[in-house]
């Protein structure tokens, strides 16, 4: 795959904006007409459903605080050095959990937990222990589940990692982005490589099952040459998983990004060279290309799931867990229960105010239609497996695939001619070349995107 020659005309044609498809429909389609009452109904339907407790839950907890601002960041975060704000936030998280449990029922099994942000390690060890104890009082954590936390290397020590292990976390994700000093300075995130190497080594000694490293290509001051140096250091670091994201420069939406000068950003062609280099370097080093933005060592659960056709995709990216309901807690967090999506309010003032009123802080969401569910199946199959078997979709949704998606199949013919995919009477398969453009292939099946040509709110797919 890494030896493929990429046609410049192909790059120009697909240098467009599009979703990452951590969900379908995408979060920008959520509406305020979907509110607390709709979410509560979804919780109660899960509680009362036949065999509902047999299907484990996933939990996501958003911790919005960071001590310093990273200019590239598009997350919902609050920059503060006042750590006492964490204690107040935990009190409100407990109120939100109590309201969820009142309608969901006590003791539901959880097989996956992810603490994201912001920087979850903004909280002290005692506060993280308090949070975990509160969650364990209300949910039943399954043995062998995936319990992960995002780590800002600048905020932890070996001792802090040991405390996380004691609290039950078995997976860590380190935000690295780039090891190059000039790039770190340009994005206002200085962290020496030695610091990350020491922490990853400590993580292994402490017995964490999987260590992930986040990288971003397309950052200011990056070049293919400097990024190759970072990749070489990552290979020496040898994390179990690597999440490789394309930087999404959307300064009109994310104020911190206005501090990044557009002229310092690498062009699309250079970004493709960086992606191609990453595939070459990482695959030569023994990593499996899981899909779009993830690599894993062959023995890691993510690579195993890919081989066995059990890969899934959720709001945190690729996952080994079944396509389970996700209860999202905290400001701005996005969850899914049954055929519904919901998102909490985005500001702390709104979040606290609604919880003070005894209300869940749902700001918007949507109930999926039958058409949404069919298209979701197709898009997730493309994103996770790189192929869609028509018969599988037909049996699951009682449709005639070629008739239902006749316009889409016609639109894919050009991509087939360009070598991005193959089609026959039974399936669509993304080619090795097509994996570079898999978001573009999935976009063909996105009814909302095809109806709305204003895609400026999305990042470039390359």
150 labelled binding-site residue? yes
75 labelled binding-site residue? no
Q: What is the distance between the alpha carbons of residues 461 and 13, in angstroms, rounded to a whole number?
A: 11
249-258 — which CB contacts under 8 Å span 24+ positions? 249/218, 249/459, 250/74, 250/456, 250/457, 250/459, 252/456, 253/74, 253/457, 254/73, 254/74, 256/69, 256/70, 256/71, 256/72, 256/73, 257/71, 257/72, 257/74
Decide: helix, strand or coil at residue 67.
coil
Decide: helix, strand or coil at residue 398.
coil
Contacts of 424 (CB under 8 A, 6+ apart): none
66 labelled binding-site residue? yes
SS3 content of the chain, % helix, strand, coil (to 5): 45, 20, 35
86 labelled binding-site residue? no
Q: What is the distance between the alpha carbons of residues 237 and 118, in angstroms, rounded to a whole number?
A: 24
370: burial class by Cβ within 10 Å (0-12, 13-18, 19+)? exposed
105 labelled binding-site residue? no
47 labelled binding-site residue? no
Q: What is the distance between the alpha carbons of residues 301 and 108, in angstroms, rounded to a whole number?
A: 24
Element (H, E) at 174: strand 171-177
117 labelled binding-site residue? yes
Can you list the positions of beta strands (E) in 258-412? 288-291, 294-296, 312-314, 317-319, 326-329, 334-337, 340-344, 362-367, 387-389
42 labelled binding-site residue? no
165 labelled binding-site residue? no
Q: What are phi and psi of 120, to 5 degrees?
A: -55, -30
Size of the chain in residues: 462
Mapping DSSP onto H, E and C, the string for 353-366 reads: HHHHCCCCCEEEEE
DSSP bridge pairs for 148: 114, 171
Q: Are 195 and 78 in contact (CB under 8 A)?
A: no
209 labelled binding-site residue? no
84-104 vs 125-138: helix axis angle to the nearest 10? 10
C-alpha distances in Å from residue 121, one per residue of 195, 323, 339: 16, 28, 33
189 labelled binding-site residue? yes
The annotated binding site for S-adenosyl-L-methionine is made up of: 60, 72-74, 117, 150, 177, 189, 214, 248, 334
- Residues within the annotated binding site for [4Fe-4S] cluster? 66, 70, 73
Annotated binding residues, written as ranges, equal: 60, 66, 70, 72-74, 117, 150, 177, 189, 214, 248, 334
């Amino acid at each position: 795959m890494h030896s493929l020659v990429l046609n410049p005309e192909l790059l120009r044609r697909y240098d467009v904006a599009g979703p990452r498809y951590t969900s379908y429909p995408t979060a920008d389609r959520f509406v305020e007409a979907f509110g607390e009452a709709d979410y509560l109904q979804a919780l109660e339907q899960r509680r009362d459903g036949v065999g509902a407790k047999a299907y484990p839950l996933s939990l996501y907890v958003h911790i919005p605080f960071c001590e310093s601002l990273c200019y590239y960041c598009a997350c919902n975060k609050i920059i503060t050095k006042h750590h006492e704000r964490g204690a107040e936030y935990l009190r409100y998280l407990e109120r939100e959990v109590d309201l969820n449990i009142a309608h969901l029922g006590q003791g539901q099994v959880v097989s996956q937990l992810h603490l994201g942000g912001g920087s979850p390690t903004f909280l002290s060890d005692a506060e993280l222990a308090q949070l975990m104890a509160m969650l364990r009082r209300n949910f039943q954590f399954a043995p062998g589940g995936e319990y992960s936390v995002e780590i800002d290397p600048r905020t932890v020590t070996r001792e802090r990692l040991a405390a996380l292990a004691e609290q039950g976390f078995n997976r860590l994700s380190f935000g690295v982005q780039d090891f190059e000093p000039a790039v770190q300075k340009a994005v206002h995130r200085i962290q020496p490589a030695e610091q990350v190497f020491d922490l990853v080594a400590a993580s292994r000694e402490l017995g964490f099952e999987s260590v992930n490293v986040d990288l971003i290509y397309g950052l200011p001051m990056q070049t293919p040459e400097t990024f190759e140096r970072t990749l070489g250091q990552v290979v020496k670091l040898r994390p179990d998983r690597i999440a490789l994201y394309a930087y999404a420069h959307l300064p009109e939406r994310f104020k911190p990004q206005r501090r990044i000068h557009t002229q310092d950003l690498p062009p699309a062609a250079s970004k493709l060279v960086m992606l191609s280099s990453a595939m070459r370097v990482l695959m030569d080093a023994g990593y499996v290309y899981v899909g779009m933005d993830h690599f894993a060592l062959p023995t890691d659960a993510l690579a195993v799931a890919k081989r066995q056709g059990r890969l899934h995709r959720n709001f945190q990216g690729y996952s080994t867990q079944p396509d389970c309901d996700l209860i999202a807690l905290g400001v701005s967090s996005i969850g899914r229960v049954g055929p519904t999506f919901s998102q909490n309010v985005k500001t702390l003032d709104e979040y606290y105010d609604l919880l003070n009123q005894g209300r869940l802080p749902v700001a918007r969401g949507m109930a999926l239609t039958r058409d949404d569910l069919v298209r979701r199946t197709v898009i997730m199959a493309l994103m996770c497996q790189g192929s869609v078997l028509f018969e599988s979709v037909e049996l699951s949704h009682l449709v005639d695939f070629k008739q239902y998606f006749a316009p889409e199949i016609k639109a894919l013919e050009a991509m087939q001619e360009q070598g991005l995919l193959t089609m026959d009477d039974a399936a669509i398969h993304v080619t090795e070349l097509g994996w570079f453009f898999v978001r573009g292939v999935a976009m063909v099946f996105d009814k909302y995107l095809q109806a709305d040509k204003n895609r400026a709110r999305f990042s470039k797919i390359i």
